[in-house]
Structures are given as structure tokens and as C-alpha cells.
Amino acid sequence: MNQRPPRTLATPTADLVARFAEIVGPAYALTDPADQQPYLTEWRDLYIGRTPVVLRPGSTDEVARIMALASEAQVAIVPQGGNTGLVGAQIPSESATEIVLSLGRMKCIRAIDPAGASMTVEAGLTLSEVQAAAAEQGRLFPLSMASEGSCTIGGNLATNAGGVAVLAYGTARNLTLGLEVVTAAGEIWDGLKSLKKDNTGYDLKDLFIGSEGTLGIITAATLKLFPAPREKATALAAVPRLDDLLPLFRLAADEAGSALTAFEFLSERALAFVAKHTPGARLPFANAAPWYVLLEISGMEEGKAESFLERILTAATERGLVSDAVIARSLVQAQDLWRLREAMSEAQKGEGGSIKHDISVPTPQIAEFIVRAAEVVEGICAGARPVPFGHFGDGNVHYNVSQPIGMDRTRYLALWEPMSRAVHGVVAELGGSISAEHGIGRLKRAELPLVKSAAEMDMMRRIKAALDPKGILNPGKLL
């Protein structure tokens, strides 16, 4: 996946690097390879880039000055948050010509307004830090995912992150009221409004969110806050048949409405991997079931959520949609159930190589996707072991496929591209998305024109050219 910068972009000279360094100060311009290393290596080692300098600005003004100089000199800039991205968008190419701009020092909470239910934060705060600041005011910032201790809110917004709370609260895009963005030319757009309604012109906010650093650099955001639920009830249900998942979801969603805050699913094999490889993981059932669902009900009234959940599970059991279920009777038990779901990606490492897909289809098509994807996977690599799991209520399946037992890991991973093409072919036929929440980056860039119409690709390229005419923002990513 080696890439060269477009011909029009310049290779930074030592003089130019010094001018960039002057903007942030020498302590925050990293040129030593040892210092740079954490910014250049994707966490699964899928991408390892090179750069003349990693810049760590401390303010929006410094970011603006960096972009103004980059625009003048026609040098490529790769914005980076917590370096937890899964598609390589945050890593520079191997050409050593692209400058990394890390937002990690911009950690100011500029305002927090519990009465107005909003907060304004800078891009470099980790998601955990944002959640904690909201919680201190008795409010909920609901975005949540396994990487929340490391990922930054700026990166969450640049990639329109999803996670485990999308069902009730939406993606990062839905949680954002306003943005501050530095443009490719180094201008600062102050779009930090905390308004729920604002119909004054084009929706620039949502254009920047999810653009993976290719249209502008998000330096701060005004986020929505929510009332913190008084209580949560959590259950793990064993489900006898694949086709039972959808009616169980509908039953829960119809009964609970927006109080249904999680409906996550795992296959039998996925849970078996967790049981085998996760220290301390305890399976609550004596007998295995083909499918498991983690349900969570959040309530505003004390002492109601659990009985509500019980009623849903009783109705589901009567209809044969659930063969067994356990309700958490304490916070610790609830955390234990959540750990079974969250440990999944990590647990899978114990089973050798994994080819991963992050797809979505309409919820009524999930079962058909799982059946058909298993067929195409078997056709490409007999014995490969699919472990579907994910956010059922969002139609989002993390369709990971572990290598056949005993196969060479490298040989297996060499099948990534043909297997992905085949799985994504099924996704396309079902009207789905080849990237539900991780984005395009470098990983899926070549595939994008295969799943998008020429009309859509053309519009995206026109918008890119309009907002970044010199092509200096994160080249070779997304488009």
C-alpha cells in the first residue's frame, strides 16, 4: 500500500521544516525518529509511515499558522488525534514528505454549560476526559467505545466515530452542535454554536465531520450533553436461531423505545473465543447457544428499568426468541456482561490472523448477510472461521474472520483483499456500507469507487477541490 504524494506537492526542505518548527517551538517539533515513532506506527502495524517532522501545536492559532505555511509551500499535512484509527487515515505515507500535525496538546475545556446541555472542548482531549468532564456536571456525553482512554474527540469527529451508544444517541455527528475548523488555507472558521436549530446556509459542520482530515482540521467542537440516566439494567440473552435476532430486536425496541440503549450481539464462536482468551471472563450459561444478545435499558425513574427488562425477556422467552437469559443484579455483574462483549476484538488475537470487516446493512438484512458472507468466505478460504458480532440495532456487523486452525498467519492475511472484495460484494447487493464506522482512510480507498456511483465520486472530488484546492490535506486518504 505504498503511496507517493501528488506531483504538485513539495518535499519539505530543512529550512522549511525549521519554519514549521518555529511556529510550535522546538520542544513540540519532533524530528528524532525515536520521538516520532508513536505517531508513525498504526497500532496493529498495518501502516508505518515516515515524516520530516511531527508538529504538536498548542492552540488553534498555531494550527492556522501551520496550515497557512503549508498552503504557501504546498506541503502535505496529515492531522492526527490519538492514533487509534483503524483504516490508516492518521498515518503519513512512506515518502517522508508529509508533515504530521498532532492535535494531542490541545486539551482545553473551553466552556461547559449543564443548563444549556452543551460543552465546548478542544480536539486533543481524550474521549474519556470529555466523558468525565460531563459527568462532573451531572451530565452524560454518550459517545463510548473500547478505545476511549486513548482516542481523542477531534479524531472521533474527523471519523464520525460510532461505538456502543449509537442506538440511542447516534454517532459522533449526531452529538455535535458546532465546530471550529482550520481550513487548508489557514483560515479559522468559528462554527462553535451551541444551537439545536440553525438553518442559515449549508451544513458545513457535517461535511467536516467524517471527512478524515481531508477537508479541514477540526480544532474544537461544541458537543451535546444529555441527562444522565438514573439507572441501567443489563442482560445477556441466549438466542436459539439467527432468524430470532431481528424479532427480538423489534420486540425490545418497540417496548422500550429510546430507553433501549444497547442491543449488541455475538456469535457462539465469538463468545467462546472470549471465554478462552480473556482472563477472568465468566460465561453465565451452562450450555452454549448459537447467538447471544447484550441488552441494556436506561431509565429516568429509579427501580423501573430492571422490571422493564424482565418483561421484555419474559415475552421473548414465551415467543421462543430467547432460550436463556441472565440479568445483572449489580454494577459489577453488569460490567462482567459488558466485558464479554468488549473483550471480543482482543480475545480474537489468540486465534491467529483475523481479516476484519466493518459493515452495515439494514437490520432486516443482517441474517441474510451473515449466511451469504459465510458462503463466500468459505469459497475463498476453506476452514476460515467467521466470528460475527457488533451493534445489531445499528445494522453494524463487525464481520471478523479468524484463520483456519493451523494455517500460516501471513499466508492467511494475504487473502485480505480477495476476501474483503467478496464480503463487500454481498454488502453491496444488500444495500449496505463497506465502512459502517471506521471510515475509508488508506485501507478502503481503492475500493471506494467500486461501491460509489460515478456521480457521487465526482461530487466528492469537486468538494475536495473546492475546499482544498492544492490537495495538501491528508493526501491519499479517502479519495
Q: Which of residues 277-306 bind its own copies (CB under 8 A)?
A: 300-301
Please identify, using beta-carbon distances, which residue of 53 and 397 lies nearer to its own copies.
Answer: 397
* Listed ranges 102-110, 125-133, 245-253, 403-411: which one lies at the site for its own copies (CB under 8 A): 245-253
H helix runs in 293-365, sequence order: 305-318, 331-342, 344-348
Residue pair 173/200 in contact by the 8 Å Cβ criterion = no
Among positions 43-102, residues that touch its own copies (CB under 8 A) are: none
Please identify, using beta-carbon distances, which residue of 14 and 455 lies nearer to its own copies.
Answer: 455
Please identify, using beta-carbon distances, which residue of 35 and 198 lies nearer to its own copies.
Answer: 198
Among positions 2-31, residues that touch its own copies (CB under 8 A) are: none
What span, in angstroms and rounded, lies between the C-alpha atoms of 288 and 260? 25
**Position 137 contacts its own copies (CB under 8 A):** no
The whole-angstrom distance between residue 312's C-alpha and the CA centroid of its chain comes to 30
> Measured from the CB of residue 324, what is the shortest distance to its own copies in angstroms?
25
CA neighbours closer than 13 Å in the CB half-sphere of residue 297: 27
The one among 11, 13, 258, 335 contacting its own copies by CB under 8 A = 258
> Measured from the CB of residue 365, what is the shortest distance to its own copies in angstroms?
8
> Measured from the CB of residue 275, what is the shortest distance to its own copies in angstroms?
28
The one among 10, 74, 94, 116 contacting its own copies by CB under 8 A = 116
Residue pair 439/211 in contact by the 8 Å Cβ criterion = no
The one among 28, 43, 189, 285 contacting its own copies by CB under 8 A = 189
H helix runs in 324-468, sequence order: 331-342, 344-348, 366-380, 409-413, 416-429, 448-451, 454-467
* Listed ranges 14-22, 46-54, 169-177, 402-410: which one lies at the site for its own copies (CB under 8 A): 169-177
**Position 165 contacts its own copies (CB under 8 A):** no
* Listed ranges 22-30, 326-334, 398-406, 456-464: which one lies at the site for its own copies (CB under 8 A): 456-464
The one among 18, 146, 188, 272 contacting its own copies by CB under 8 A = 188
What span, in angstroms and rounded, lies between the C-alpha atoms of 418 and 355? 11
The one among 132, 195, 414, 446 contacting its own copies by CB under 8 A = 195
Helix axes 416-429, 366-380, angle to 10 degrees: 150
CA neighbours closer than 13 Å in the CB half-sphere of residue 266: 28
The whole-angstrom distance between residue 358's C-alpha and the CA centroid of its chain comes to 10
The one among 48, 371, 414, 465 contacting its own copies by CB under 8 A = 465
**Position 206 contacts its own copies (CB under 8 A):** yes
Binding mask 322-361 for its own copies (x = CB under 8 A): --------------------------------------xx
* Listed ranges 168-176, 330-338, 343-351, 408-416: which one lies at the site for its own copies (CB under 8 A): 168-176
Q: What is the DSSP string of 257-287?
A: GGGEEEEEEEEHHHHHHHHHHSTT---S-SS
The one among 190, 243, 346, 429 contacting its own copies by CB under 8 A = 190
Please identify, using beta-carbon distances, which residue of 182 and 337 lies nearer to its own copies.
Answer: 182
Among positions 381-410, residues that touch its own copies (CB under 8 A) are: 391, 393-396
CB atoms within 10 A of CB 457: 14
CB atoms within 10 A of CB 56: 22
Nearest to 205 by CA among 223, 187, 232: 223
Strand partners, 245: none
Please identify, using beta-carbon distances, which residue of 392 and 412 lies nearer to its own copies.
Answer: 392
What span, in angstroms and rounded, lies between the C-alpha atoms of 256 and 258? 6
The one among 2, 7, 15, 257 contacting its own copies by CB under 8 A = 257
Residue pair 355/419 in contact by the 8 Å Cβ criterion = yes
Cell of 5: 504524494
Give the torsion sign (CA, 402, 407, 412, 418). negative
The one among 19, 94, 107, 113 contacting its own copies by CB under 8 A = 113
Cell of 105: 496538546
**Position 191 contacts its own copies (CB under 8 A):** yes
> Measured from the CB of residue 123, what is the shortest distance to its own copies in angstroms?
18
Q: Where are the beta strands (DSSP E) in 183-245?
A: 188-191, 217-224, 226-227, 231-239
The one among 2, 199, 330, 410 contacting its own copies by CB under 8 A = 199
Q: Which residue has the cell 492531522?
A: 79
**Position 362 contacts its own copies (CB under 8 A):** yes
The one among 109, 146, 253, 428 contacting its own copies by CB under 8 A = 253
Q: For the CA atoms of the chain, what is the radius of gyration?
A: 23
The length of the chain is 479
> Measured from the CB of residue 89, what is the shortest distance to its own copies in angstroms?
11
Please identify, using beta-carbon distances, which residue of 252 and 419 lies nearer to its own copies.
Answer: 252
Give the three-class secondary structure for 189. Answer: strand
Binding mask 208-227 for its own copies (x = CB under 8 A): -xxx---x----------xx
> Measured from the CB of residue 284, what is the shortest distance to its own copies in angstroms?
27
